[in-house]
Structure 1
Amino acid sequence: MDYYHKEFQSYFNATVHVDPAPFLLPVITHLPVGGEVWDVGCGSGRDLLWLKQKGFKAVGLERSQGLASLAAKYSGCRVIQGDFNTFDFSRLAVDAIFLTGALVHVPHRAFLPLLRNIIAGLKPGGVLFLSLKEGHGVRQDEKGRRFYLWQEDDLVPLLQQNFLKILNSSKDSSLLATGENWLAHVLKKAL
């Protein structure tokens, strides 16, 4: 989206200081110590830094060149500038992939093929963290960003039919105090 290419500094400033512990702690309990983890759509690099500080080998993938540069500098982690829509995840074999709000702009019809491509990068038994905004249909914000909203009853069958076991689910209010709810899932890829 153009917003993240043009307003990368504003987005970085708005998100970098949010503590990711409330939504990431339930994930890391399922990971091997020192495992390799990828933060896809890593944004500011906030989660990368947190994961690195917990002892993980963290790598980011970010479409916006400006955000990728800021994330690498902030986190001290490797950040690949690339688009998750076209990136070949099948060449990876990582312990976990984090999709913290990363797929909120993906149209519903494109969600499943994209998810399948991404989970191809997990080792058997690998863990996926996925968070999406709760709601119905599509919403556009004042910045021109289009958000595709989900209901738990629509999302869970898609996850389960793709050989993902739900380890943990939650519904939480936005940490940015926007009044929105987030659906979060910790998922394990079948062996």
Structure 2
Amino acid sequence: MNSTTQYYNQNAQQFFDSTIDVEMQSLYEKFLPLIPTGGRILDAGCGSGRDSKAFLDKGFQVDAFDASAELTKLATDLTGLEVTQTTFLEFQSEPATYDGIWACASLLHVPEEELPKTITHLLQFLKPHGLFYASFKLGNCSEIRDGKHYTDMTESNLESLFNEFKPINIELWKTSDQRANNAQIWLNIIVKF
């Protein structure tokens, strides 16, 4: 178990409480209209299950996983889904299953050198012309902070990363952190394949 997973297991309730009510509507409004009505979404690194629940409430089919056993339990309780406890690289499903993959503030915990392999693994589960959403903290480093590994991204680094996979379209934009007393800027990306 890596230090990030260990951190989330030890601080699951605190993390859940600090993120469950964060306003996400502006992000949903960019992503969900691009998914077919009732389409299937994979919440990759689902954390509290907040986004999975929102997608379910809007009539989408959702599968979710997280590496943290403790967060998986909390997300299962919140959503009623059988949230799977697994890592990005260990996740398995039928190929070309999902209309969209949602990786909100989760891939940022993958070391930079492992991101291409991780994205390649996840993309096999995306349908043709499917959408991939991810978000990273704006910056240019890969390091352990507060007990968790972070890979921060610049706009050019993030665009270059996803351009390796020959996408049809990339949309990239910045948002401010919605948590109280947090001045973090986030980079968001929606990629169509």
> TM-score, normalised to structure 2's length?
0.91
Q: 1:167: how far off?
A: 4.5
Shift of 1:155: 1.5
Which segments of 5 or more consecutive residues in structure 2 lack a partner in the other structure?
A: none
Distance 2:140 2:170 in 1: 25
Q: Distance in 2 between matches of 1:166 and 1:180?
A: 26
1:77 partner SS = coil
In structure 1, the residue matched to 2:83 is 79
Deviations 1:27-86 (A, max 9, x none): 011110000111010000100111011110111111111111110111222311111132
Match of 1:174 among 157, 173, 177: 177
Q: Distance in 2 between matches of 1:76 and 1:37?
A: 16
Residue in 1 that maps onto 2:25: 21
- Equivalent residue runs for 1:66-145 within 5 Å: 66-88=70-92, 91-141=95-145, 143-145=146-148
Equivalent in the alignment of 2:8:
4
**Which of residues 10, 19, 38 is equivalent to 1:34?**
38
Q: Which residue among 50, 57, 69 is the counterpart of 2:54?
A: 50
Backbone CA RMSD of aligned residues: 1.5
SS in structure 1 of the partner of residue 52 of structure 2? helix
Distance 1:35 1:78 in 2: 18
> CA separation in 2, counterparts of 1:36 and 1:69?
22
Task: Tell me the secondary structure at the aligned position of residue 29 of structure 1.
Answer: helix
Distance 1:186 1:70 in 2: 27
- Shift in alpha-carbon separation, 1:185–1:165, aligned structure 2, 3 A: farther
Q: Could you tell me how far apart the structure 2 residues matched to 1:64 and 1:158 are?
A: 26
SS for the counterpart of 1:32 is coil
- Note if contact 1:20-1:50 (Cα within 8 Å) is conserved in structure 2: no
Query: Equivalents in 2 of 1:65, 1:145: separation in Å?
Result: 16
Range with bigger deviation, 174-183 or 125-134: 174-183
Read off the aligned partner of 1:5 and give its amino acid letter.
N
Q: For 1:107 and 1:140, locate their aligned partners in 2 and report how far apart those are by CA, in whole Å.
A: 10
Contact 1:131/1:185 (CA < 8 Å) preserved in 2? yes
Rounded Cα–Cα distance in structure 1 between residues aligned with 2:170 and 2:118: 21
Match of 1:147 in 2: 150
* Length, aligned pairs only: 188
State the distance in 1 between where 2:104 and 2:56 align: 16
Q: TM-score normalised to the size of structure 1?
A: 0.92
